[in-house]
Amino acid sequence: MDLDDIIDLKNPPKSLVSDEEWKIIAKDELNESKLAKKKHKNWLKKMDCGKIAPSLKNIKEEKKKKPKKKKIEVEKEVENFENDNEDELMEKCTDICKRLKKKFVQYDLNGTNNIWIVKPAGLSRGRGIEVFASLVEIIDNCHREGQWVAQKYMENPMICHGRKYDIRQWVLVTSWNPLVIWFWNKPYIRFPAADYDANNLNDKFVHLTNNSVAKYAKNVVEMGDGNMWDVDSFSDFLQETYGRDVWGEGGLKKKMQQVVKYTLEAVQDMFDENNKSASCTELYGFDLMIDENCNPWLLEVNSSPTMESSTTITEHLCKLVMEDTLKVIVDHHYSRKKSKVDTGEWE
């Protein structure tokens, strides 16, 4: 059975595929990686038929039309190239990268593997998520029923003890017009079950941080309780790694608050100020990742985020956030002296 189906079972089987069965499967000449390469080659041939790229025949005809360079001109170009020393070339390349970085906002999250993460729009708990580095594989995957989101994968995440991670940040909106946002001061950190490897795209235990996926991994060392940390443990890790308070004084928390603010401002005009929906309350689960330069990036926003007590971390925090949410939407809302109302960890 597929892992996505196993997640929904109350009593999942102890073993999915036996070692003997894996040996038989592995003997197939067209294993998953070879099949992907084969599809990619077929796709390139298709593109070469003149539908998008010019055919080889057309390229040859164009070359015939162009006047050939004289031998002296070719020798001069080679000489100019050889005269450029490595330092000058490096300086030119560095300058190009700097200019690209100014123009391209997502410059810092790209690597060299061209990895994309593809998610079904209507599912949760990590079900149906796949990671690809080939357009053909993405198209094949998205031919299935339903709507899909293809999102650029962050290839240079901040690594913590060998693993990537994301941050589940709770956010409470009590009014859309005017926009009133509450930021929870106790987010929690979620780790995959296996160490990060950008070259291993087929192992969900490497790439997915969902506890509903990670809990099925076997013979792995857990990061904290159930591959989760509280924000204090995360803050201590940043302090030890960088020798300073990255979370508080270093501004990481403030940067996350800006991401939350800009995201909600972007959809604020969807709520009519004359409509009751403009004053509705909603609790969201923002999922963010941190890159190697300590910049937060928004992955997705979850409405109705899970409040399941899957680990001791969430058992404590889910109960706490529910209590503090009532303090905001009842005590704070109806109080005349709002500055004196205890709102718990909501800021």
Grade residue 50 by pLDDT with cuts at 50, 70 and 90.
very low
Q: Which domain holds residue 141?
A: 114-153
Between 278 and 42, name the one with better pLDDT: 42
CA 181 from centroid of its chain's CA atoms:
24
Mean predicted confidence (pLDDT) in 93-111: 87
Q: Are residues 172 and 142 in the same domain?
A: no
Q: What is the pTM of this model?
A: 0.73
Q: Are residues 146 and 194 in the same domain?
A: no
Q: Are residues 296 and 171 in the same domain?
A: yes
Tell me the sheet residues that pair with 228: 190, 224
Q: Check residue 68 and give its pLDDT.
A: 62
∠ at Cα 218 (215, 205), nearest 5°?
60
Task: Provide the token pair at 55.
Answer: 């055919």
Tell me whether residue 42 is in a domain: no
Residue 124 pLDDT greater than 80, yes or no: no
Mean predicted confidence (pLDDT) in 318-339: 92
Grade residue 159 by pLDDT with cuts at 50, 70 and 90.
very high
Q: Are residues 306 and 215 in the same domain?
A: yes
Domain-ending residue, one of 102, 125, 153: 153
Burial of 238 (C-beta count, 10 Å sphere; 0-12/13-18/19+): buried
> Which stretch of 90-99, 172-181, 197-206 has the lowest confidence by average pLDDT?
197-206
Mean predicted confidence (pLDDT) in 143-150: 84
Residue 169 pLDDT greater than 90, yes or no: yes
Mean predicted confidence (pLDDT) in 241-268: 93
Rounded CA separation 169/321 (Å) = 11
Q: Are residues 123 and 196 in the same domain?
A: no
Q: Are residues 135 and 229 in the same domain?
A: no
Rounded CA separation 31/61 (Å) = 39
Residue 49 pLDDT greater than 60, yes or no: no
Rounded CA separation 284/303 (Å) = 5
Q: Check residue 52 and give its pLDDT.
A: 46
Tell me whether residue 238 is in a domain: yes
Q: Are residues 318 and 173 in the same domain?
A: yes
Structural domain count, the chain? 2
Tell me whether residue 71 is in a domain: no
Q: Check residue 53 and give its pLDDT.
A: 47
Tell me whether residue 327 is in a domain: yes
Q: Are residues 300 and 321 in the same domain?
A: yes
Q: Are residues 125 and 259 in the same domain?
A: no
Q: Are residues 261 and 310 in the same domain?
A: yes
Q: Are residues 238 and 331 in the same domain?
A: yes
| 54-88 pLDDT, tens digit each | 545 555 566 566 666 566 666 666 566 556 677 88
Mean predicted confidence (pLDDT) in 266-277: 76
Tell me whether residue 312 is in a domain: yes
- CATH (domain of 332): 3.30.470.20
Residue 9 pLDDT greater than 80, yes or no: no
Dihedral sign computed on CA atoms, order 143, 144, 147, 152? negative
Residue 278 pLDDT greater than 70, yes or no: no
Rounded CA separation 149/122 (Å) = 10
Q: Check residue 166 and give its pLDDT.
A: 93
Tell me whether residue 28 is in a domain: no
Q: Check residue 14 and give its pLDDT.
A: 64
